[in-house]
Amino acid sequence: MSLSPRSAINADLHSHSDISDGTLPPEAVAARARAAGVQLWSLTDHDELSGQARAVEAAARLGMDYLTGTEVSVSFAGQTVHIVGLGFDASDPALSEGLRATRSGRDARAMAMALGLAEAGIEGAYEGALRYVGNPALISRTHFARFLVDSGVCGDVPEVFRRFLTHGRPGYVEHRWAGLGEAVRWITQAGGVAVIAHPGRYKFTPTEEYALFSEFQAHGGQGVEVVTGSHRPSDFDKYAGFAREFDLLASRGSDFHSPEESRIGLGELPPLPAGLAPVWEALSHRVQRA
């Protein structure tokens, strides 16, 4: 099957602003998306909706279609999984409350991370990371990483994650995020579609990965990111296969965080592999047209 004209649009449905762990305000992310030729955009800040009104307004001003978005942190089979929500009603109270609860442990977690880093000889990391935070409700590992790069401890953000912020490293703290079923329900009951974000990034066994997809679908999840800045080209094919096998809608997004840190710019992605059902076609009734 060849690409239909609508599935060939430049949709970027995964990006971050300084409302979570991106470095740019929502308006600047919108402007970069527009300049890169994005036709349909979504701002998907982690566990947060407070950038949505600004994103909608900026997209409209720039003549770009928009879908509401967020990226929910979920604990599943001992790992953190991200579930992107698209096209929901951003004023839905249960979704807002669920995200508030998901965010609520971040500050205590950050203080525990700083304790671990102090034991490894890095003092003042909590205060240091806070200087990079745009939204006090959303301190993340990325803010610690930027602090450790700018203070000269590491050369770049990926190095900080490798040496300090991943499982078994001094600044890593186990954390309990939302449940998979909860996250999917918050999104779908608000009228949106839940999407498994960057499945190629997780370190699941094939059995665990199969469980993730089947439980996600049993909870009402309908989509998977196939083309994302977090995937290698071999992952595009693998997860196109999963989309077909599970009959899931396919999504596409850069996972843009910052002009300095992103491997792939907004909208700079290959099209979805042929024969997949684009999530934006299923959500066409939820698109806020410019």
Binding site for ligand AMP (CB under 6 A): 21, 46, 73, 140-142, 157-158, 161, 257
Nearer to ligand AMP, 130 or 277 (CB): 130
CA-CA distance, 186 to 279, in Å (whole number)? 18
Q: Which listed option, ligand AMP, Mn ion, none, makes contact with residue 73 (CB within 5 to 8 Å by class)?
A: ligand AMP
Query: For the chain, how many residues are written?
Result: 290
Residues that bind Mn ion (CB under 5 A): 21, 71, 82, 197, 255
Indicate the DSSP class of residue 120.
T
The closest alpha carbon to 68, from 197, 193, 182, belongs to: 193
Q: Which listed option, ligand AMP, Mn ion, none, makes contact with residue 158 (CB within 5 to 8 Å by class)?
A: ligand AMP
Token pair, residue 112, equals: 């525990």
Nearer to ligand AMP, 264 or 290 (CB): 264
Q: Which listed option, Mn ion, ligand AMP, none, makes contact with residue 92 (CB within 5 to 8 Å by class)?
A: none
In angstroms, give the least distance from the CB of 235 to ligand AMP.
15
Nearer to ligand AMP, 65 or 147 (CB): 147
The closest alpha carbon to 88, from 197, 11, 190, 189, belongs to: 190
In angstroms, give the least distance from the CB of 5 to Mn ion.
28
The closest alpha carbon to 164, from 131, 103, 119, belongs to: 119
| 3-state secondary structure at position 60 | helix
Nearer to ligand AMP, 231 or 257 (CB): 257
Q: Which listed option, ligand AMP, Mn ion, none, makes contact with residue 161 (CB within 5 to 8 Å by class)?
A: ligand AMP
Q: Which listed option, Mn ion, ligand AMP, none, makes contact with residue 7 (CB within 5 to 8 Å by class)?
A: none
In angstroms, give the least distance from the CB of 141 to ligand AMP.
4
Nearer to ligand AMP, 203 or 285 (CB): 203
Nearer to ligand AMP, 135 or 140 (CB): 140
Q: Which listed option, ligand AMP, Mn ion, none, makes contact with residue 185 (CB within 5 to 8 Å by class)?
A: none
In angstroms, give the least distance from the CB of 276 to Mn ion.
21
Spell out a b/e string for 66-97, using b for 16 or more CB atoms within 10 Å of the CB, else e: bbbbbbbbbbbeeeebbbbbbbbebebeebbe
Nearer to Mn ion, 21 or 65 (CB): 21
Q: Which residue is nearest to Mn ion (CB)?
A: 82
In angstroms, give the least distance from the CB of 161 to ligand AMP.
4
The closest alpha carbon to 84, from 258, 249, 209, belongs to: 249
CA-CA distance, 46 to 48, in Å (whole number)? 5
Tell me if 13 sits within 8 A of 88, measured CB to CB. Answer: no
Say how far residue 173 (Cα) sits from the centre of its chain: 20
Extended beta strands in 6-88, E state:
11-12, 40-41, 65-66, 69-76, 79-86
Q: Which listed option, ligand AMP, Mn ion, none, makes contact with residue 252 (CB within 5 to 8 Å by class)?
A: none
